[in-house]
Structure 1
């Protein structure tokens, strides 16, 4: 049975403008690989209502899971929760369980629960909360869409809890080989290997060392036997390969 598939939507004008560097996509990719969930694409979009709604609807229909980051804070441009609710045909309002979580957090710090902070308790009625052990404001799962914060430390903490209840598949493993060659010297053999072993992903990544070309060949598969077979053929073709 094939592994579940996933897509990620990174939401925020600050990402597209270059003001903020995204690290959440990199973190998610690594965690999903361990979970046995195949991340197929990442979309970067701005804080535009129509774009968010259309992107959520499109990817939710195509993938088993959609993970979002960004746009669930207390300010006027934090519109992700409302957009996801609309995209999935759900109503959204302040929910008592989310309000209680936030109230306890702010009471413990002697901070007022004002209207802006209360916006972070707006959760679709059908959604399951995603715990936020860092700053309390919860994310949520609605259908196959998982909505999380954009701040990396909070996103990572939310993801830790979420993945405990998301069923994965077979873990994909990889092996890497370094060759003192250019890609043109190895392309034909890699093409043949890829055709002979369709369940193995084979990538080549060239670099210039200053003294000459090098290429790293990375092979990935959920099937250990297929991975070993490709690794053996690579070593036969390129005895000098360093793993």
Structure 2
């Protein structure tokens, strides 16, 4: 069976690293990719530094099937993602006629000046195809296996509609979750053995602390529904043996 395509996310922006802005795009992208059978393997954050962006882009696009970047394609001086992508690929960058015309029409409609800084949003690396932006018009773009999208969450999410048809699908990863009020340490050994018996299923253990007490939630993820159900039964048995009452979520 062909392996599922893989992906990485590169979040770009000083505002993320400073804590001023919370990254919600990574979560949205992860939820977008999972039903398509695209395995998200890495999320990386870099600031608005050209060298750091170039290095990260080249490393991640070589390692994974797809790379998605968010942030840094607006009109201001610190929006340097497009230039960094062009340099990462060793290509030029110029005003894209279609993007320029769409932006010019948008600002004319609003009665606002289409000044040189706003025109920056029409600068696209040579050879890239546009990613449609139905919210604010300024496009993202795709260059080979790299998808460059906006940092504003509502705009980034809107761009995904144009991205989806371009992706190769993989086997959908299913998940089962079960929890019980038992100590994680009491099931750790049995959990390790169950994982060894089912190497193609990823099993995670997540302790919780609630007002009514503590416990653990176990999650199994895999592409084979039958094996996943077998693992779920094993998790139930493990929790019951430790004195808990398993609850399927």
TM-score, normalisation: structure 2? 0.95
The Cα RMSD (Å) is 1.1
**Which residue in 2 is equivalent to 1:231?**
232
The equivalent position to 1:241 in structure 2, one of 229, 241, 246, is: 246
**Which residue in 1 is equivalent to 2:141?**
140
- TM-superposed CA distance for 1:211, in Å, is 4.4
| Superposition pairs of residues 70-109 of structure 1, within 5 angstroms | 70-109=71-110
**Which residue in 2 is equivalent to 1:158?**
159
| Superposition pairs of residues 199-238 of structure 1, within 5 angstroms | 199-238=200-239
- TM-superposed CA distance for 1:160, in Å, is 2.3
Whether the 8 Å CA contact 2:191–2:238 is kept in 1: the answer is no
In structure 2, distance between residues paired with 1:201 and 1:144: 27
Total equivalences in the alignment: 243
Tell me, yes or no, if structure 1 residue 174 matches structure 2 residue 180.
no
Structure 1 residue matching 2:218: 3-state secondary structure: strand
- CA shift digits 1:43-83 (9 cap, x unpaired): 01100010000000000100000000000000000000000
- TM-superposed CA distance for 1:159, in Å, is 1.5
In structure 1, distance between residues paired with 2:47 and 2:66: 21
**Which residue in 2 is equivalent to 1:2?**
3
Whether the 8 Å CA contact 2:83–2:93 is kept in 1: the answer is yes
In structure 1, distance between residues paired with 2:25 and 2:126: 27
